[in-house]
Amino acid sequence: MELSCASCAARNRVPAKRLLDKAKCAQCKTPLLPLSRPVALASAQDFEELVRDSALPVLVDFWAAWCGPCRMVAPEMEKLARDRSERVLVAKVDTEALPTVAQRFNIRSIPTMILFRGGAEARRLSGAMPAAEISRQLEL
Read off the pLDDT of residues 81-133 as tens digits, 9 standing for 90 and up: 999 988 899 999 999 999 999 999 999 999 999 999 999 999 999 999 999 99
Q: 5, 25, 28, 67: which is the annotated catalytic residue?
A: 67
Active site residue 70: yes
Determine the CATH number of domain 36-138: 3.40.30.10
pTM (two decimals):
0.86
Strand pairing report for 11-13 and 2-4: antiparallel
**pLDDT at residue 85 in the model:** 83
Question: Which residues 6+ apart lie within 8 Å of 77 measured at CB?
Answer: 38, 59, 61, 90, 92, 113, 131, 134
- pLDDT surpassing 80 at residue 51: yes
The verdict on whether 67 is a catalytic residue reads: yes
- The contacts found for 105-111 with CB under 8 angstroms, 24 or more apart, are 105/62, 107/62, 110/62, 110/63, 110/64, 110/67, 110/69, 110/70, 111/61, 111/62, 111/63, 111/67, 111/69, 111/70, 111/73
pLDDT beyond 80 at 20: no
Choosing from 5, 8, 25, 70, the catalytic residue is 70
